Chain A
Amino acid sequence: MAQEIEKPRKVQYPHDSTCYKITDEIGRGVSAIVYKAICIPNSTVVAIKSIDLDRSRTELESVRLEAKIMSLLSHPNILRAHCSFMVDHRLWVVMPFMSSGSLQSIMTSSFPDGLSEPCIAVILRETLNALSYLHNQGHLHRDIKAGNILIDSNGSVKLADFGVSASIYESNSGKGSNSGTNSASGRLTDLAGTPYWMAPEVIHSHTGYSFKADIWSFGITALELAHGRPPLSHLPPSKSLIMKITKRYRFSDYERAKNSKNKKFSKNFKDMVGLCLDQDPSKRPSAEKLLKHSFFKNCKNSDFLSKNLLVGLPSVEQRFREIKLQRLESMNCRSADGDDEDDQVFLIGGVTVKQRRISGWNFNEDGFELDPVFPVSKEDNEIDNDIVKQVRFGGETIIRDRGGESEKLNLQTQLADGEIGGGGGGGSVDRDVMMGSLMFLKKSLDDQRQKVMNMIDMINGEENVEMSRELQLMQVIENLKMELENVKKRNFELEMELGVSQLTAKQQSL
């Protein structure tokens, strides 16, 4: 389906910043800014993503891979780069300008309660075309969400932002240690993406995940388009939220009481989303299969969007200015730079709550919602205490409530078993599982830390005794990490000194 041979390099986009005239800023993240600009030699409007490589904490290797993926993909539903080049210490990625911006930005400005079903169908079908192409190429996108789906004035839909995408064909050949890619089995174990859209197996990445993780995020994106936001996103981080979570408070995410419109969605739509949100990745359909779902049967063409969705929308530039003003106003409530905001540049009018740990989801087909299930400790303790215990004793279990029936998620038990099994033989837990568990733990800790940071910012000095234990723990872990690094380095330096002195000994003997 995607086999037409595009020859975009034939239209020349110079590798020289003086050939571009910047007209507007249309997006901003921690280390990247997106501009609207004109390419002077061919008078084409373009978007330029300017990434500060000196400030960016991402490794150059991942920037290289993103650039490579972007220049080798060619599909009508995928945003491709015209070219990329260095301008001092910034990388400029020149891309087609998608004049209507991201769907997330469209919803924030004009459709806070979500889009109509026929529009959603077109958007999802086009996105699936892109996903199916990507997956056939062996790539995972790993960050499917409305903020990464862009739309042009003619209604064409393109999937963007390959900042965290990964290839299961290409194991990082360089140092390879920090990449979880395992090309033999085509599974990934490292964490990437944006939490609300993350599949359960990505969060608990002890078994690894594959293309089906994108399908989950696709399902969440469908809900996001239907309701205006992904499940859970409107909740502010606060002490009370944690209380609700730990007390197994079940809340309806979309506050239907307030939302009097009471939107009706078709059975087909609900069924399609339900398939994507199956807890078991192997039961989720592939992108190719989903395209054949009856929900997409009488789907309109993409110019339907230009006539129905895009009429009278404020421009991308206007929207960004509004958002910027709002941000300035709320500046003092916002916490310092989040770690992973780099890839948020397209998320105009971004989400403020970033990280929250969720142990599972239950898709409620009737309500067309996804009910989150939060980890609850056995003693119904505070969640932070729970985490501390998991780390210290490694044998705690998390009970996952699944619509009344309880199910044990014995990640930590597995971990302990693994250690025993290794000695006694017959234990089926291998290194990968172990790594997965450890990475999951690390991720939980990171999440918790983030949360604590947010809260500290919120409370602004207010005492919080429970939290301090966790902070201490984080500190301990940091120190241990650092010690390990130091020992490694010292070792190395000693060896080197030895080498130098041997050499000088030789020189002296001459």
Chain B
Amino acid sequence: MKGLFKSKPKTPVDLVRLTRDLLIYVDQNPDSRETKREEKMLELNKLIRELKSILYGNGEAEPVSEACAQLTQEFFRENTLRLLILCLPKLNLEARKDATQVVANLQRQQVQFRLIACDYLEANIDLMDILVLGYENTDMALHYGTMLRECIRHQSVARYVLESENVKKFFDYIQLPNFDIAADASATFKELLTRHKSTVAEFLSKNYDWFFAEYNSKLLESTNYITRRQAIKLLGDMLLDRSNCAVMTRYVSSRDNLRILMNLLRESSKSIQIEAFHVFKLFVANQHKPADIISILLANKTKLLRLFADFKTDKEDEQFEADKAQVIREILALEPWDQP
């Protein structure tokens, strides 16, 4: 029978339309368990896979840019992305993965030199909240997480997520017990805080107080090894980025921050110690240290010098040695603060 209806291959636009129709059906018939629904689900899975092979090519053929552009345009002409995100939990694992790859790819597709995905997301920015909250659902976290990371490639979208209330949730997501989900949340968090320099600098200056209070207490002082290790590394990346210079100067003038960093320096984990050193050196190198920073450093002078005496990286690292020597020199040269 089927052979009779084997018409000409469907165009990318047709495929997107058919997908959208089926998504609407799935969305509106959540509970029907009859075979009809199952058939439609099967067809939907197949369609999503076809969309994927247009965008990525398949074993034999490379993707055709014209077809990709048509697909992208039709996809964002209507609300297909929203439907797909909402229906994702109803799809099976393979279809979820295909859909995630489709969404990821669409973020990079240009139609007449425009990333129309970005325009769409700006108009439908609440979708980002759904994706972020996905970290709370074990089955959806990795799919929504991947989509989210792709969407925040767009600066305006990243800015929205950073400025939304949801950004605070990452401090908890990063510490979820599932390693794969926690690590994914952590990768997204890092992306948010390093990708778009100007947005990050603006966000950090505006939100300095609550952000670093949370960062210190929840991440740097976490009981979870991997949280501390990733947090200290990311802190170094942020503070050493020159676009965050103002934030860095502020951070290294606080005695509370210094206390936390000195605790990290004493960790038994080499990796954490080394990363902590890269932040600690900023406190010491600061040529205008506040009095309380100087007094803490002076009070701990002997301990610090003893620590650095046999502080080594696994591999020989000249720069590290040079930094260390400089830090030692600075500490040795410290004088009690003279009141101006």
A positions within 8 Å CB-CB of B: 2-3, 5-6, 9, 15-16, 53-54, 60-61, 63-64, 67-68, 70-72, 74, 83-86, 88-89, 91, 135, 137-138, 169, 173-174, 185-186, 211, 286, 482, 485-486, 489-490, 492, 495-497, 499-501, 503-504, 507
Contact = CB atoms under 8 A, between A and B. Distances in A.
Interface stretch (B28-36, B73-81, B182-190): B182-190
B184 A83 contact: no
A501 B288 CA distance: 9
Interface string B5-27: 00000000000000000000000
Nearest to B98: A137
B254 interface: no
Contact of A67 (B97, B180, B285, B288): B180
A503 B183 contact: no
Contacts of B309: none
Given A64-B183, A86-B225, A499 B245 contact: yes
Given A3-B94, A64-B183, A174-B190, A84 B56 contact: no
B178 interface: yes
A503 B245 contact: yes
Contacts of B322: 486
A91 B179 contact: yes
Nearest to B320: A489
Given A169-B101, A500-B249, A86 B226 contact: yes
A355 to B, nearest CB: 19
A428 B235 CA distance: 44
Contact of B240 (A16, A83, A496, A501): A496
B271 interface: yes
A71 B319 contact: no
Contact of A138 (B56, B184, B240, B288): B56
A389 B316 CA distance: 27
B68 to A, nearest CB: 12
Nearest to A90: B225
A5 B142 CA distance: 17
A60 to B, nearest CB: 7
B123 to A, nearest CB: 24
A67 B145 CA distance: 14
A499 B247 CA distance: 11
A62 B45 CA distance: 30
A501 B226 CA distance: 35
B340 to A, nearest CB: 11
Interface string B91-108: 011100100010010000
Nearest to A169: B101
Contact of B318 (A5, A89, A486, A507): A486
Contacts of A67: 179-180, 183
B59 interface: yes
B230 interface: yes
B269 interface: yes
Contacts of A286: 59
B183 A72 contact: no
In the A-B complex, the 5 residue pairs with the smallest Cβ-Cβ separation, listed nearest first, are: A15-B177, A499-B245, A64-B183, A84-B179, A67-B180
Interface string B242-285: 10011011000000000000000000011100000000000001
B56 A169 contact: yes
B139 interface: yes
Contacts of A503: 245-246, 249
15 contacts: A9-B139, A60-B226, A68-B142, A68-B183, A71-B142, A72-B97, A74-B94, A84-B180, A86-B224, A135-B59, A138-B101, A186-B56, A286-B59, A500-B287, A507-B288
A53 B178 contact: no
Contacts of B245: 496, 499-500, 503
Interface string B141-161: 010000001100100000000
Given A5-B92, A85-B178, 16 more contacts: A60-B230, A64-B183, A64-B186, A67-B179, A68-B183, A72-B142, A85-B177, A137-B97, A169-B56, A173-B191, A186-B56, A211-B59, A482-B317, A496-B248, A500-B288, A503-B245
A327 to B, nearest CB: 24
Contacts of A71: 142, 180
A137 B150 CA distance: 19
A74 B187 contact: no
B139 to A, nearest CB: 7
Contact of A3 (B92, B138, B286): B92
B336 interface: no
B242 A499 contact: yes
B318 to A, nearest CB: 5
Contacts of A489: 319
A503 B242 CA distance: 12
A367 B191 CA distance: 54
Interface string B204-245: 000000000000000000001110011000000000101001
A169 to B, nearest CB: 5
A480 to B, nearest CB: 12
A72 B142 CA distance: 8
B179 A54 contact: no
B242 A60 contact: no
B337 to A, nearest CB: 15
Contacts of B180: 64, 67-68, 70-71, 84
Given A64-B187, A286-B59, A74 B179 contact: no
A74 B93 contact: yes
Contacts of A61: 187
Contact of A492 (B97, B240, B269): B240
A174 B193 CA distance: 11
B154 to A, nearest CB: 13
B92 A501 contact: no
A13 B242 CA distance: 45
B250 to A, nearest CB: 9
A501 B287 contact: yes
Given A68-B184, A169-B104, A89 B142 contact: no
A475 to B, nearest CB: 11
A168 B212 CA distance: 37
Contacts of A60: 183, 226, 229-230
